């Protein structure tokens, strides 16, 4: 898995409740590092009827946690990233500077 915050590769196969990233020191046992995390689902989780966790970037004690293997970021993209992806370098947002 990779740390959600700094993208450091984590080689441990089991991530304990209190595990922290050796590079940035952030919690690893968090929703955004879990393969079941998906924004937009109830409680942002693919597991039905899961107990809600308010802070998705803070360590928790969810027993259904399973480390996400990919480096795919789940952070929300800002509007310029989305616009660039849709329109390339001909970004219409840049054309309308007020």
Q: Tell me the C-alpha distance between 24 and 9, whole Å.
A: 12
Is-contact 61 53, C-beta < 8 A? no
Q: Among 65, 70, 64, which residue's Cα sits nearest to residue 27?
A: 65
**What residue spans define the domains of the chain?**
1-72
- Is this prediction's pTM over 0.85? no
For 92, the token pair is 């219409």
Q: Tell me the C-alpha distance between 7 and 2, whole Å.
A: 5
Q: Tell me the C-alpha distance between 35 and 39, whole Å.
A: 12
Instruction: Give the pLDDT of residue 97.
Output: 52
pLDDT tens track for 20-73 = 999 999 999 999 999 999 999 999 999 999 999 999 999 999 999 999 988 766
Residue-wise DSSP of 5-45: TT--B---SS--TT-B-TTT--BSSSGGGBTTB-TTSGGGB
Q: Mean pLDDT in the chain?
A: 83
């Amino acid at each position: 898995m990779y740390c959600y915050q700094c993208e450091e590769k984590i080689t441990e196969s089991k991530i304990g409740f209190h595990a922290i990233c050796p590079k940035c020191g952030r919690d690893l046992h968090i929703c955004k590092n879990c393969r079941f995390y998906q924004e937009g689902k109830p409680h942002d989780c693919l597991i039905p009827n899961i107990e809600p966790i308010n802070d998705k970037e803070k360590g928790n004690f969810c027993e259904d946690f399973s480390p996400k293997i990919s480096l795919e970021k789940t952070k929300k993209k800002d509007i310029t990233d989305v616009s660039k992806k849709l329109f390339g370098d001909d970004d219409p947002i840049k054309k309308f500077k007020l």
